[in-house]
Amino acid sequence: MNAPTDEQLLAKHLEGDPAAFRTLVERHMRELSQFVYRFTNSRSAADDVVQDTFVQIHLSAASFDPARRLKPWLFTIAANKARDRLRSRTRRREVPLDAQIGGADDDGQRFVDLLADEESDPAERMSADEQDAVVREVVDGMPEHLTEVLVLAYFHQFAYRDIADILGIPLGTVKSRLHAAVAQFGTRYKAAVKDREKDE
């Protein structure tokens, strides 16, 4: 027998089935928690946001359009709450306009360089923990709007259309942001590894 879909579980919850909502929570809690953790880099924020997200789903369940899918809605709420959380913590990652214009920092050029890069992964000589630390450092320095799109695409494999719905941005913007995010991550990571090697 096929397991009930998310949408069927929510409908059952609305009908008063107490087990249905628990199944939903158990089904999505892990993925949602990892998404929020990677976005906020905080375990406590991940727990709080996941909890608030499910409470919000419960409170708004009656307004859910059963013709749509529940999972993108879950991530939409979680992404909004995670962003609020980040902003209340600190107003970070505001990159002035004049710092983004032209020159060697250009993402388009970075992406082209990335495609032509035949070097092996410079981090191959690092331990998994060291790699984890460098990735965190690199992602932490990236703008919030690029991190969220990178995490949704790479770790959760959402289609572009779903990412556009989750973040409330046009499809074209999802594509250009992901393009920029990949280029920034690739070049920054490489630079961070080289810096680390120099220090050693």
Identify which of residues 1 and 41 has a Cβ nearer to another protein in the complex.
41
Identify which of residues 91 and 198 has a Cβ nearer to another protein in the complex.
91
Rounded to a whole number of angstroms, the minimum distance from the CB of residue 139 to another protein is: 7
Distance CA 44, CA 138 (A): 21
Nearest CA to 153 among 177, 117, 130?
Answer: 177
Nearest CA to 41 among 157, 164, 147?
Answer: 147
Q: Which residues are CB-neighbours of 85 under 8 A, at least 6 positions away? A: 40, 45, 48, 49
Rounded to a whole number of angstroms, the minimum distance from the CB of residue 89 to another protein is: 18
Identify which of residues 8 and 27 has a Cβ nearer to another protein in the complex.
27
Rounded to a whole number of angstroms, the minimum distance from the CB of residue 11 to another protein is: 15
Rounded to a whole number of angstroms, the minimum distance from the CB of residue 87 to another protein is: 13
Identify which of residues 8 and 34 has a Cβ nearer to another protein in the complex.
34
Nearest CA to 27 among 67, 74, 60?
Answer: 74
